[in-house]
């Protein structure tokens, strides 16, 4: 009986590891951004991003880490958006380090 409990516990632990995604961004990283004077907005870019100009953007929050605006080769906005002053919510994809990241992949953004 004891062996069965150990096997079930081990199986449950391994199953939990498989379903838990490990994010490079944690609460400590977000707090560090805030201490550096940035405002952090989590969630889809379409929410608070619909009110903020892309000029104020400092970077995106991705599950694998932070993407600084200055590191982006290109930030592509929707064709129908205001091309003079696009909003953060207008972003459709970001090109960084030879990779194309769709805006849906971002967990949030931060700005000054």
Q: Where are the domains of the chain?
A: 2-111
User: Could you state, in chain order, the average pLDDT of each consecutive group of 10 residues for the chain (112 residues)?
Assistant: 42 37 71 93 84 93 93 94 92 94 94 91
**What is this structure's pTM?**
0.74
The rounded distance, in Å, linking the Cα atoms of 5 and 60 is: 44
| Residue 58 and residue 88 in contact, taking contact as beta carbons nearer than 8 Å | no
Task: Give the 3-state secondary structure of residue 81.
Answer: coil
The rounded distance, in Å, linking the Cα atoms of 88 and 77 is: 9
| Residue 94 and residue 75 in contact, taking contact as beta carbons nearer than 8 Å | yes
| Pairing status of strand 108-111 against strand 39-42 | antiparallel
The rounded distance, in Å, linking the Cα atoms of 105 and 44 is: 9
Model pLDDT, residue 14 = 34
Model pLDDT, residue 1 = 52
Q: Which of 96, 86, 17 is nearest to 64 (CA)?
A: 96
């Amino acid at each position: 009986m004891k062996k069965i409990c150990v096997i079930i516990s081990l199986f449950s632990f391994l199953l939990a590891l498989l379903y838990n995604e490990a994010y490079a961004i944690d609460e400590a990283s977000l707090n560090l951004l805030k201490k550096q004077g940035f405002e952090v907005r989590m969630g889809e870019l379409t929410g608070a991003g619909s009110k903020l100009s892309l000029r104020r953007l400092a970077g995106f929050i991705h599950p694998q880490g932070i993407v600084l605006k200055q590191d982006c080769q290109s930030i592509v906005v929707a064709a129908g958006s205001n091309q003079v002053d696009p909003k953060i919510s207008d972003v459709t994809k970001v090109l960084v380090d030879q990779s194309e990241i769709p805006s849906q992949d971002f967990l949030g953004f931060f700005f000054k």
